[in-house]
Amino acid sequence: MAKYYTGPVMARIRALSKNKTLQYGLPMMLLIIGGSFGLREFTQIRYDAHERHCKVDPALEEKLKKNKMTLESEYEKMKNSNFEDWKNIRGPRPWEDSKPLQEQPR
Protein backbone atom coordinates (compact mmCIF):
# COMPACT_ATOMS: atom_id res chain seq x y z
CA MET A 1 0.00 0.00 0.00
CA ALA A 2 1.36 3.45 -0.97
CA LYS A 3 1.97 5.91 1.74
CA TYR A 4 0.93 9.50 0.97
CA TYR A 5 2.92 12.47 2.17
CA THR A 6 0.75 14.59 4.49
CA GLY A 7 3.31 17.02 5.80
CA PRO A 8 3.16 20.80 6.04
CA VAL A 9 3.75 21.24 2.31
CA MET A 10 0.60 19.31 1.38
CA ALA A 11 -1.39 21.20 4.00
CA ARG A 12 -0.20 24.49 2.49
CA ILE A 13 -1.16 23.36 -1.04
CA ARG A 14 -4.65 22.36 0.14
CA ALA A 15 -5.06 25.74 1.86
CA LEU A 16 -4.02 27.58 -1.31
CA SER A 17 -6.42 25.53 -3.44
CA LYS A 18 -9.32 26.69 -1.24
CA ASN A 19 -8.27 30.34 -1.49
CA LYS A 20 -10.94 32.32 -3.42
CA THR A 21 -8.42 34.76 -4.88
CA LEU A 22 -6.40 31.99 -6.47
CA GLN A 23 -9.49 30.05 -7.46
CA TYR A 24 -11.35 32.89 -9.20
CA GLY A 25 -9.12 35.98 -9.32
CA LEU A 26 -6.03 34.49 -10.93
CA PRO A 27 -7.90 32.95 -13.91
CA MET A 28 -9.77 36.24 -14.37
CA MET A 29 -6.54 38.25 -14.42
CA LEU A 30 -4.95 35.78 -16.83
CA LEU A 31 -7.99 36.08 -19.10
CA ILE A 32 -7.90 39.89 -19.07
CA ILE A 33 -4.15 40.21 -19.64
CA GLY A 34 -4.00 37.37 -22.15
CA GLY A 35 -7.02 38.78 -23.97
CA SER A 36 -5.38 42.15 -24.41
CA PHE A 37 -2.34 40.53 -26.01
CA GLY A 38 -4.57 38.39 -28.23
CA LEU A 39 -6.62 41.38 -29.36
CA ARG A 40 -3.44 43.28 -30.17
CA GLU A 41 -2.36 40.48 -32.50
CA PHE A 42 -5.76 40.31 -34.24
CA THR A 43 -5.95 44.07 -34.76
CA GLN A 44 -2.40 44.09 -36.13
CA ILE A 45 -3.48 41.52 -38.74
CA ARG A 46 -6.33 43.83 -39.72
CA TYR A 47 -4.06 46.84 -40.22
CA ASP A 48 -1.48 44.79 -42.14
CA ALA A 49 -4.17 43.53 -44.51
CA HIS A 50 -5.49 47.08 -44.98
CA GLU A 51 -2.03 48.31 -45.98
CA ARG A 52 -1.65 45.54 -48.55
CA HIS A 53 -5.03 46.20 -50.21
CA CYS A 54 -4.75 50.00 -50.35
CA LYS A 55 -1.73 50.28 -52.62
CA VAL A 56 -2.32 52.69 -55.51
CA ASP A 57 -1.11 51.98 -59.04
CA PRO A 58 1.87 54.28 -59.83
CA ALA A 59 0.37 55.34 -63.18
CA LEU A 60 -2.89 56.34 -61.48
CA GLU A 61 -0.98 58.18 -58.77
CA GLU A 62 0.91 60.22 -61.39
CA LYS A 63 -2.35 61.04 -63.15
CA LEU A 64 -3.87 62.22 -59.87
CA LYS A 65 -0.86 64.40 -59.15
CA LYS A 66 -1.01 65.92 -62.64
CA ASN A 67 -4.74 66.75 -62.38
CA LYS A 68 -4.74 69.58 -59.87
CA MET A 69 -8.38 70.35 -59.17
CA THR A 70 -8.97 72.80 -56.35
CA LEU A 71 -12.04 74.21 -54.74
CA GLU A 72 -11.18 77.67 -56.01
CA SER A 73 -10.91 76.51 -59.65
CA GLU A 74 -14.28 74.77 -59.42
CA TYR A 75 -15.78 77.91 -57.88
CA GLU A 76 -14.52 80.00 -60.79
CA LYS A 77 -16.19 77.60 -63.25
CA MET A 78 -19.50 77.76 -61.40
CA LYS A 79 -19.35 81.54 -60.93
CA ASN A 80 -19.39 82.11 -64.69
CA SER A 81 -22.34 79.74 -65.28
CA ASN A 82 -25.78 81.01 -66.15
CA PHE A 83 -28.49 79.68 -63.84
CA GLU A 84 -31.40 81.74 -65.19
CA ASP A 85 -32.81 78.85 -67.22
CA TRP A 86 -32.10 76.24 -64.53
CA LYS A 87 -34.85 73.70 -64.03
CA ASN A 88 -34.86 71.37 -61.07
CA ILE A 89 -36.08 67.93 -62.17
CA ARG A 90 -37.12 65.50 -59.50
CA GLY A 91 -36.22 61.84 -59.84
CA PRO A 92 -38.92 59.18 -59.67
CA ARG A 93 -39.95 57.68 -56.37
CA PRO A 94 -39.79 53.89 -56.01
CA TRP A 95 -43.56 53.49 -56.41
CA GLU A 96 -43.78 55.77 -59.45
CA ASP A 97 -43.25 54.79 -63.08
CA SER A 98 -39.99 56.34 -64.24
CA LYS A 99 -40.65 56.22 -68.00
CA PRO A 100 -42.66 59.51 -68.27
CA LEU A 101 -40.09 61.35 -66.17
CA GLN A 102 -37.23 60.07 -68.31
CA GLU A 103 -38.93 61.18 -71.51
CA GLN A 104 -39.35 64.78 -70.34
CA PRO A 105 -37.00 67.25 -72.04
CA ARG A 106 -34.17 68.43 -69.88
Give residue-wise pLDDT tens across range 69-104.
788 888 888 888 887 887 777 777 888 887 877 777
Quote the pTM value: 0.37
CA distances from 80 to 1, 50, 73, 76 (A): 106, 43, 11, 7
pLDDT above 60: residue 9: yes
Residue 57's pLDDT band (cuts 50, 70, 90)? confident
User: Nearest-CA neighbor of 16 among 3, 25, 4?
Assistant: 25
| Domain range summary for the chain, segments of one domain joined by + | 8-81
